[in-house]
Amino acid sequence: MIVAARAADEALSRASAWEIVGGLSEPSKMPAYSYGLPAKECRVGSKLVGVPGSVCHGCYALKGNYRFNNVQRAQYRRLESLTHPRWTEAMIHLMHAIDMRHFRWHDSGDIQSPTHLANIVAVAQASPQVRFWLPTREKVFVSSHLKRHGAFPENLVVRLSATMVDGPPPAGFAHTSTVVTSGASCPAPLQNNACGTCRACWDPEVQNVSYKKH
């Protein structure tokens, strides 16, 4: 009885789970909640942003609304939350408490550590009702995770992003994305900059998605 009472005390509410992870974001283009981290803290991207011709040069997540103080504060709050001992539990709680079918990791920012990636995988494993899309430039974290733990869960599509505009997709990964000056497969620019009914980024059958350079 005492153990049961303690477990009930410690059970997360939706509000406390939201607070632990620093809240979710709702990009207007997306049909789903997302989780935005500061783009300045991208490990690979923060170096590429200074390289002309790279896909990070002129990064959208360092411009426009993303520069507002309230957005920045929320992103850094989430960044700090990644090491909270109940982060994974809280995120799983939200995946079940909120009616969602799709979720995008990182409309801004990227994987911060091997533990961060492992926690994302744990969230996907515990939330089979949600399809997850994780775009990333962190090849080293992804490769070492695959080597140690095997394939990602079926409901988590991890897309490795190309380095250069009009460059090839990263080799050796099941799911990738590229940025092109013409012939993009992403229909968003033709439909009000929104996904609409398209879910290609979340679709494990789609090996590569190409985005038009902004």
Report yes or no: 201 and 209 within 8 Å, Cβ to Cβ: yes
> Judged by CB under 6 A, does residue 201 bind ligand SF4?
yes
User: Of residues 86, 199, 212, 213, which one binds ligand SF4 by CB under 6 A?
Assistant: 199
How far apart CA 173 and CA 125 sit, in angstroms, is 20
Residues in 114-133 at the binding interface with ligand SF4, rule: CB under 6 A:
none
> Judged by CB under 6 A, does residue 44 bind ligand SF4?
no
Stretch that binds ligand SF4, among 38-46, 85-93, 114-122, 196-204 (CB under 6 A): 196-204
Q: Could you tell me the two tokens for 36?
A: 């935005």
- Residue of 146, 141, 143, 123 whose CA lies nearest to 133: 123
Return the amino acid letter for 170: P
> Judged by CB under 6 A, does residue 204 bind ligand SF4?
no
User: Of residues 62, 84, 200, 212, which one binds ligand SF4 by CB under 6 A?
Assistant: 200
Which residue stretches of the chain are H helix? Answer: 2-10, 14-21, 45-48, 69-81, 87-97, 114-125, 139-149
Task: Label the pairing between strands 33-35 and 102-105.
Answer: parallel
CB closer to ligand SF4 out of 90 and 209: 209
Residues in 153-192 at the binding interface with ligand SF4, rule: CB under 6 A:
186-188
User: Of residues 17, 20, 61, 195, which one binds ligand SF4 by CB under 6 A?
Assistant: 195
- Residue of 7, 8, 152, 20 whose CA lies nearest to 89: 20
* Binding footprint of ligand SF4, residue count (CB under 6 A): 9
How far apart CA 167 and CA 152 sit, in angstroms, is 25
Report yes or no: 143 and 174 within 8 Å, Cβ to Cβ: no
- Closest approach, Cβ 23 to ligand SF4, in A, equals 22
- Closest approach, Cβ 195 to ligand SF4, in A, equals 3
CB closer to ligand SF4 out of 82 and 201: 201
Q: Which residues bind ligand SF4 (CB under 6 A)?
A: 186-188, 195, 198-201, 209
